[in-house]
Structure 1
Amino acid sequence: MRNFKIVLQYEGTRYKGWQKQGGTNAGRREDAESSDSSFLETNAKEYTIQGKLERLLSRIAGEPVEIHGSGRTDAGVHAYGQVASFHMDTKLTAEALMEKINSYLPEDIAVISIEEVPDRFHARLGAKGKTYRYRVLNSSVPHIFERRYVWQVPEKLDVQAMCKAASYLEGTHDFKAFTSTKKGKKSTVRTIEAIEIVRCGDEIHFTFRGNGFLFHMVRILMGTLIETGKKNRRPEEMPAILESGLRENAGPLAPACGLALMEVSY
């Protein structure tokens, strides 16, 4: 059994996120053995990136294949550099396997690299850090051809105020106030190495680099920073929000469309 690492890109607009839905088995044998060219669409409920990949890999292998992503992306979130790994018994070279996978994938998903890795490599467990980018269109004029990839905020935003707010959020903190997870025994402490905010014409790009991110964390950080940019809250409020650990003290959940996973480090 060989272990493969893939890097893939996808436009998340029409998907329910990365993770397959509970109670379904995307790698089940009947999907693997299907000869119908539309086998990727067989389960309407399983409209996820993981689900599609598992059905495809299972069909190629002739037996169930389970794939592990570096982490989950929400419904509507995009990826330029998602990493995943899977074990497969195949005689195909890595290059031939990549070509075969891409020949069946829909036009909004693509594997951009593949390599055989040591048996113990695991895309999620081995991940050391991630980089996300969020794009804001800071203009009252819509960008029709970019509408799936930006959050349009027509009000003038104060970039300097948002940068100051971001400086309070960098470092190691308990980000309980910045997650939608209600309960859980897992730690909500994370380290944000850097938050970079750059204006590019009428867009503002926010880049988040850290050792890991909680459920909805980047999108809630974005909602909070945008409120600061609108001068609806002060940058100096960030430490108190972190200290409170209360979701209601942070800003709103930003739309998924502006967010993309850029890179995973190992």
Structure 2
Amino acid sequence: MSAGYERIRFGVEGGVATLVLDNPAKRNAFDPAMRVEMAEVVRQVQSDPAIRALVLTGAGAHFCSGGDLGNIAASGLDNGGWRRRLTSLHDWLKDLMLLDKPVIAAVDGAAYGAGFSLALAADFIIASTRARFAMSFIRVGVVPDCAAFYTLPRVVGVQRARELMLSGREVSAQEALQLGIATELVEPDALQARAQAIAHSFVGASPVALSLIKRSLALAATDLPSLLEQEANAQALAMGTPEHREAVRCFLEKRPMPFQWPQA
């Protein structure tokens, strides 16, 4: 893992980047320093073609407990200041959500408040059996942020999102799997290895196809004619890539395919 960061750890190995929220004394709570460092890393991942996937996780026994309430209380920001802070956060969070590479969140322990929202920004949530999730914003008298109004209803539906946001209740790992929030559940000691295995599997996938799938899914709530137009444009691009031609050759020659989802 690279040095030079105060609140995160970051490294790249074999085409896979790993970003670790590293403030375990506060269960990896967000503070301004962490947000600045995460923004820098997201830009680096986006701009480096050698990076093919990103694993997002937390140090210690937790993913992220949400905003650092001590820092929030001491900030002294007025309404305009809070809006500017959230707008700057949205800039890099949007970049993370629109990243043209798969993002895998490996969630252990608490994913509360903005931590839950951050996990939802990933393409896959691999959760340990002791993970727990909560839209806990209502408990401290604020509204969900970090794009939760966009992501959560798309995962669980509007009615269930309403219940989770208004109650602020905790969701167990098993319920998260049932609701579609978690992609898989694994034992805590297998969490990081499973997330890395999934991330490394994408090194063999077509980067063009991955990018086009993610861009098209971002338009999934738009009108049908626009989505069909995007589908036609994306498929035309994907069909012309060397990765597509090689995958077809492997299939026809009965050789192992370049991309295969790793068995659990």
TM-score (norm 2): 0.29
Bigger radius of gyration: 1
Query: Which structure has greater helix proportion?
Result: 2
Q: Which has the higher contact order (CA 8 A, sep 6+)?
A: 1
TM-score (norm 1): 0.29
Query: Which structure has greater strand proportion?
Result: 1
